[in-house]
Amino acid sequence: MTHLSGFAALTLGHVVLGHSADCLQHLRLHEHVHVRQAERWGIFFVPAYVLAALWQILRGRHAYRDHPFEQEAFAAESAQCSKDAHSS
Ligand SMILES: [Zn+2]
How is the chain split into domains, by residue range? 29-87
CA-wise closest residue to 16 among 6, 26, 50:
26
Distance (angstroms) between ligand 1 centre and the Cα of 44 equals: 17
> How much is the pTM?
0.77
CA torsion sign, 74 to 75 to 76 to 78? positive
Instruction: Check if the beta carbon of residue 9 is closer than 8 Å to that of residue 1.
Output: yes
Distance (angstroms) between ligand 1 centre and the Cα of 86 equals: 25
**Residue 15: in which H helix or E strand, if any?**
strand 15-18
Give the model confidence (pLDDT) of 49-81 as tens digits.
999 999 999 999 999 999 999 999 999 888 776
Dihedral pair phi/psi, residue 15, rounded to 5°: -105, 125
Distance (angstroms) between ligand 1 centre and the Cα of 87 equals: 25
Distance (angstroms) between ligand 1 centre and the Cα of 2 equals: 5
Q: How does residue 10 score in pLDDT terms, banded at 50, 70 and 90?
A: confident
Alpha carbons within 13 angstroms on the beta-carbon side of residue 8 total 12
The answer, yes or no, to whether residue 18 has pLDDT greater than 80, is yes
